[in-house]
Amino acid sequence: MKRRLQVTPRGWFLGGVGLVLAGLAFVFARYDALFAGVTVLAAVGGAALALWFTAKPGPMVRQLPEGAVPAGRPVTVMLRAVDGLPGPDPVVDATPWGPVAAAPLSAPGLLAYSVIPDRRGAHPLGPATVTAMAPMGLMAGVTTVAPATSLLVAPPLLDLDLPVPRQDPDRTTNAATPTAETVIDPSDVREYRPGDARRLVHWKATARRDTLMVREQVRRKVTDVWVVADTVASSADDAFETGLAVAATVADAMASAGHRVHLVTTGGQTAGFKATAGRDPIMEYFALAEPAGEEAPGWADGIGQALGPRGGQVPIYAVVAHPTPDRVAAMGVAVGWAGPGVVWAVGPEAAPLAQDLAAQGWLVEAIDEGAGV
């Protein structure tokens, strides 16, 4: 932990008065002025010594939400004393949103404060400090009890009308075929049966019921959903941010519904998200997404290559925010595998493409470029 002493304005004023009195005593040989000056300077020095030798506050642990959090939602940051003892309330010195007044909680050595990040990205959170004042307010001792860190913020989740994905019934082989996967249902437990894997043992339920309990396994149909995010932009403007918000909302909703989500960007990047992984990988990906300088020429062909030689139709949800001259042709390639195919046209640049995309077979939805900012 770092600790620094700061002279307050009152301390600077009295220190200056002491120096002036000492100077006058030297010039005019006035011992009374010398005594007064030394007394004032001794008071400032004594305040510094008092702060230096007083007990320092103990370190604290900063607790942030796991993974990225959506922009626009309140986030509670907690500071917990390592020793668990009550002490001075820390104050956050600096955040992108200005100084934060921390409201102490009822538990000793624990406090929390709330921030509302307005844009996605990695936002720095300043150090948490405890400030102790010397007698008469001449000096202040500032101790850093928790280091600076960052808060990962994802795009806001929007209220979108998402058509239900459907799967081509003729598809029997390749990556987009619905498959029956065995998954663990954490909400259901049952008694142990011979042959159950040890990894399925639910230890809390076992201790509570005094008999060996395991998590239930269920089988469900899992289908593939493709999301196309438009990352071609010269800068992260409003249309780019809203396009990411749309793509993140779709990917999160589909993964939450139990689908495998395949992400393709117009800049040429790809990613995959399994429903069992939760929303953290999706939010973290979109929180750190950066604009691509130019459009990858084969991003649409990559969908067909992933589907395999038999092709077929799969749900494709696409975003167009900054169209390029070749975007309509690329979208025409992608719609050949779409069932359904939905595209969100973000802002005035994408609006003129709506008629051409609808003629290709896309279901076109218009969205304001500032909706996800």
In terms of Cβ atoms closer than 10 Å to its own Cβ (0-12, 13-18, 19+), residue 159 is exposed
| pLDDT above 70 for 191 | yes
* Residues contacting residue 301 through CB under 8 Å, at least 6 positions apart: 333
Instruction: Tell me the chain's radius of gyration from C-alpha atoms.
Output: 31
Give the CATH number of domain 223-367; options: 3.40.47.10, 3.40.50.300, 3.40.50.410, 3.30.230.70.
Answer: 3.40.50.410
Architecture of the domain whose range is 60-153: Sandwich (2.60)
Band (pLDDT 50/70/90 cuts) for residue 365 is very high
Give Cα separations from 361 to 246, 333, 342, 356, 373 (angstroms).
Answer: 20, 11, 9, 9, 29
| pLDDT above 90 for 231 | yes
Per-residue pLDDT, 127: 82
Band (pLDDT 50/70/90 cuts) for residue 320 is very high
Same fold flag, 60-153 and 223-367 = no
| φ, ψ at 222 (rounded to 5°) | -120, 125
More confident residue, 264 or 131: 264
Band (pLDDT 50/70/90 cuts) for residue 267 is very high
For the chain, what are the domain ranges? 3-53, 60-153, 180-221, 223-367
| φ, ψ at 29 (rounded to 5°) | 55, 45
**What confidence tens digit (pLDDT) does each residue in 118-161 have?**
888 888 887 888 778 887 888 888 888 888 888 889 999 999 88
Question: What is the C-alpha separation between 181 and 367, in angstroms, rounded?
Answer: 36
| 114 SS3 class | strand
| pLDDT above 60 for 185 | no
Q: Which two tokens stand for residue 226?
A: 């493709």
Top-ranked range on mean pLDDT: pick from 86-95, 124-133, 161-170? 124-133
Give Cα separations from 189 to 185, 202, 369 (angstroms).
Answer: 8, 7, 47
| Mean model confidence pLDDT for the chain | 81
Question: What is the C-alpha separation between 58 and 52, in angstroms, rounded?
Answer: 15
Identify which of 300, 293, 372, 294 has the alpha carbon closest to the alpha carbon of residue 337.
300
| pLDDT above 90 for 243 | yes
Per-residue pLDDT, 108: 62
